[in-house]
Amino acid sequence: MKLIQNVNIIDGTGAPAFLGDVLIEHGRIADVTKGGRTVPIEAELLDASGLTLTPGFIDAHSHGDLMLQSAFSALSKFSQGITTQAAGQCGVSMWPADTRDMQRHIRFVSGIAPCPSVPPVEALESYSAYRAYANAIPRKPKTEYFTGHGALRLAVMGYNAEKPTRAQMQAMQTLLREAMEGGSLGLSSGLVYAPGCYGQTEELIELLRVVHDCGGMYATHVRDESNRVEEAEDEALLCAARADVPVFISHFKAAGRQNWGKPARILKRFDEAIARGVHLTVDHYPYLAGQTSLNVSIPPRYRKDGMEALCRYLRDPAALRAIREEMSVQSDYDNYVYNSGGFDGVMVAACPFFKDAEGMTIAAYAKKTGQDPFDAYIEILCRNEGLGLGVYFHMCEEDLLAIAQYPHSVIGTDGLLGRENENGHPRAFGAFPRAICYYVKEKGIFTLEEMVRRMTGLPASRLGLFDRGAIRPGLAADLVLMDYAALRDRATYRDANLTAEGIQTVFLDGEPVYGR
């Protein structure tokens, strides 16, 4: 039994903060009182005078399933107050996997998580085996799982770009139903990544009918976040409406200067869809740069057969000439390099093998090595066997603030990590403290109480996690004790793995997992 005394309580509902005590017993919140209370003789006392207590933060978009065994990944969550993570987004989930070709599956998940922690083969034989394996991993955030459309397609069809046959569709639906009945949140899609990008609207709707039958939801990295972002968001709304499922719009943004301002129009479309009965949530991270694989700017037809085939194209002079030409202009596909203003706007983050360019823009690395920027980009990809992560500076603050203030907007880290000595994106270690510091302290667009609600109570309700997300008797004692005045995110683009200041203690089921 623990009693946290004399603490400023922000309960996750948006209600005003109050001074009080919180009693924890058997991993649950046993009592919440304003002012003082009689102290149980057997209670462990924690005097929190001058500190603030909130519910544990909920990372609505984490990719944490790809690094479940990693203590480094767990540190990135706990150190910023995250106690629950929703994982498996962007069509890339650890399950299902074709266990007859594990190397292909590992290369697939490595496309966005360079150093995945891959379960033993026997843990991937069924969804129940996978969840049993995952649940047994100690000292990690509570994790809820989406099932990836890309993973389904890879397991059933490989990198086949064709429309699935009836038998293939039934096989994907069977796997998805198995996951849903085993507790999956629903289906996720990543419609810019192979092989998920080959799935068309009707295929998604057919899969979402299974999700509807099982009471799940749909999380989508839409087909285009730049020049065709409005059409891509319309497709997401259509899928949700036709299948009658709630939809999460993943890391909502409009990439590229030519697309700035579009989010305001799209948010009006979202409101219209909500008025028609669509249950919609958007997640976002409070930064102006995104992060994903370095290879994503290569035209999709060169990525359709996997990493080995991609690398063969990258060594073919004729293919390279075509790729260079297509990447240099505004294209029909989501060209992240073009949307970042060229190679000056792309920084190399974590790479698995060749690390010389890490922490530099591609343009800076090209200058250092005396190369043309495109040639430097191809060298980095080839020497990393097509893998690696890039940071893309392609958003504007006006759009970000509009997205943050949208009533149905929550926070996600979209946290992709390499190894401890590799630089990534600051959102992996800093997204939640930064949201408070940037939106509350600097911009003043939220009260602290409302910001905490958007990181706790709101995502809990949208994800159906009714045993957490608030400081209320009977709920899990997942809590964050912080020094609000000292709270500061330290992670930067040049040094992305720095922990935040001001997070004093993080409790998971009443037990401290971070801090003192």
Binned at pLDDT 50, 70 and 90, residue 344 comes out as: very high
CATH 2.30.40.10 is right for the domain spanning 2-56+470-515: yes
Q: How many CA atoms lie within 13 A of 423 on its CB side?
A: 18
Rounded distance between C-alpha atoms, residue 11 and residue 355, angstroms: 44
* pLDDT score of 38: 65
* pLDDT score of 224: 94
Q: Could you read off the pLDDT of 361-376 as tens digits, one per residue? A: 999 999 999 999 999 9
User: What residues contact 64, with CB distance under 8 A and at least 6 apart?
Assistant: 73, 77, 85, 87, 140, 141, 143, 415
Strands 57-59 and 82-87: parallel
Angle 317-327/373-383 helices, nearest 10 degrees? 120
Question: Which of 183-197, 417-431, 470-484 is least confident?
Answer: 417-431
Binned at pLDDT 50, 70 and 90, residue 299 comes out as: very high
Binned at pLDDT 50, 70 and 90, residue 55 comes out as: very high
Bigger pLDDT: 174 or 349? 174
Q: Are 217 and 248 in contact (CB under 8 A)?
A: yes
Domain span(s) for CATH 2.30.40.10 in the chain: 2-56+470-515
Binned at pLDDT 50, 70 and 90, residue 271 comes out as: very high
End-to-end CA distance of the chain: 17
- Return the ∠ at Cα 280 (arms to 55 and 240), rounded to 5°: 135
Four-residue CA torsion sign, 497, 8, 441, 444: positive
The yes-or-no verdict on residue 393 having pLDDT over 80 is yes
* pLDDT score of 376: 97
* pLDDT score of 37: 64
Q: Are 491 and 428 in contact (CB under 8 A)?
A: yes
* CA dihedral of residues 80, 85, 89, 94 (deg, nearest 10): 110
Domain span(s) for CATH 3.20.20.140 in the chain: 57-288+395-463
What are the distances in angstroms from CA 206 to CA 65, 175, 176?
25, 13, 11
User: At the top level of CATH, which class does the domain 57-288+395-463 belong to?
Assistant: alpha beta
- Dig out the tokens for 465 from the structure: 């996690």
Q: Which residues of 387-421 are buried (b: 16+ CB within 10 A; e: fewer)?
A: bbbbbbbbbbeebbebbbebebbbbbbbbbbbeee
Q: What is the mean pLDDT of residues 89-101?
A: 97
Instruction: Write down the pTM of the prediction.
Output: 0.91
Rounded distance between C-alpha atoms, residue 74 and residue 348, angstroms: 23
Q: Could you read off the pLDDT of 129-157 as tens digits, one per residue? A: 999 999 999 999 999 999 999 999 999 99
Q: Could you read off the pLDDT of 179-206 as tens digits, one per residue? A: 999 999 999 999 999 999 999 999 999 9
Question: Which of 234-243, 350-359, 450-459, 469-478 is least confident?
Answer: 350-359
- Return the ∠ at Cα 120 (arms to 214 and 82), rounded to 5°: 60
* pLDDT score of 43: 85
The pair phi, psi for residue 365, each rounded to 5°, is: -65, -40
Query: Is residue 281 helix, strand or coil?
Result: strand
Binned at pLDDT 50, 70 and 90, residue 424 comes out as: confident
Q: Could you read off the pLDDT of 231-260 as tens digits, one per residue? A: 999 999 999 999 999 999 999 999 998 999
Rounded distance between C-alpha atoms, residue 192 and residue 225, angstroms: 9
The radius of gyration of the chain's CA atoms, rounded to the nearest angstrom, is: 22
Percentage of the residues of the chain whose pLDDT score is greater than 70:
99
* pLDDT score of 292: 87
The yes-or-no verdict on residue 36 having pLDDT over 70 is no
